[in-house]
Amino acid sequence: MPPLTLPPPRAVLLDLDGTLIDSEPAHRATWQAFFAARGWEVDDTTYAEHFVGRRGADVFRTLPGPWAEEDPEALVEEVLSYLPQFVAEAAAVRGAVRMLGDLYELGVPVGLVTSATRA
């Protein structure tokens, strides 16, 4: 059977974290620095089960912890203040750059859909 060939898509929507960028090492280092500065111990299992892939403010609102009486949005701003020192730990997902180049060459519009902030 010959390989299946499809026409190019009319447009592509892509998520950022985990799809185009492997940002988890940078996020983990950022959270570790924040927790350490606050003197809060959050083990790897709790981090993986509750913080990875979720908005920080949502976690602070729903997960019991030493942050319970604090403003979730203000805490997230504090967390994000640590991020610039770890941004270099984020890297393109293997194949992402080539895929974007191929889509560009085909004239396919690409939209970025993410819950991440512009920064």
Catalytic residues: 15, 17
Report yes or no: 72 and 61 within 8 Å, Cβ to Cβ. yes
Pairing label, strands 91-92, 21-22: antiparallel
37 backbone dihedrals φ, ψ, rounded to 5°: -65, -30
Sign of the four-CA dihedral 81, 85, 86, 89: positive
* Neighbour tally for 99: CB within 10 Å: 15
Report yes or no: 51 and 59 within 8 Å, Cβ to Cβ. yes
Count the alpha carbons within 13 Å of 42 in the hemisphere toward its beta carbon: 26
